[in-house]
Amino acid sequence: MLGSLTIPGRPEQVATARTFVSRTLSSYQVGTDKDAATLLTSEIVTNAVQHTKSGVDGGTVTIVVIGVPHGVLVEIIDDGSAGTPIVKGDLYAAEGHGLFLVQHLAAQWGYLRDPAGTTVWFRLPAADEPQLALEPAHPQAGSPPAGRASGPDDSRPTHLWAVAIQRGVRGVIPPELIEPASTSA
């Protein structure tokens, strides 16, 4: 894990999330597209603030940056909502382009839900990874593992980080967590 940050679920905190991701990637010289990581983080954190319980008084959003082989994995954990993340394909809509950008810029992305909230994640390849990995990604949903280990913040462990630590492998998304999810609006 390269770093984690928990911020209040307020619109003005989106800039803090962007700065955190940019500085973290610069500090560790991951070799991935820092601008894309910052943009996608901004879009997902904005969604968390606008569309989940993170945006109510006392709500929070946690950003976790994990170095993985040949790239970086970023997780954004919110306080949950009634709905699931949906990609809106209407390019002429006034809003709703956040996950559309994630789908087209990330090598992989998806989300995991549990009673505590939703983790939306994306993986960006290292600059030297073959171009094939940059094809549009498709969201994946999964069930949280049975026994989660402590994450970067013991009060809010992340699904992917916890499983990787349980298995002693950093940056691996277990196949049993990956199931197809809906992408239509």
In the numeric block, the tokens 């954990």 are attached to 77
The model carries a pTM of 0.72
Beta pairing partners, 64 = 4, 75
Taking 70 as the threshold, does the pLDDT of residue 47 lie above it? yes
Compute and round to an integer the Cα radius of gyration of the chain.
15
DSSP string spanning 34-59? HHHHHHHHHHHHHHHHHHSGGGSTT-
Query: For 107-165, what is each residue's pLDDT tens digit?
Result: 999 999 998 899 999 999 998 765 444 444 445 544 332 332 223 333 444 555 444 44
Contact call for residues 80 and 52 (beta carbons, < 8 A): yes
**Alpha carbon of residue 121 to chain centroid:** 3
The reported pLDDT for the residue numbered 1 is: 92
Query: For 64-87, what is each residue's pLDDT tens digit?
Result: 999 998 899 999 999 999 888 878
Contact call for residues 71 and 130 (beta carbons, < 8 A): no
Domains and CATH numbers, the chain: 3-180 (3.30.565.10)
User: 20-24, 159-163, 176-180: which has the minimum mean pLDDT?
Assistant: 176-180
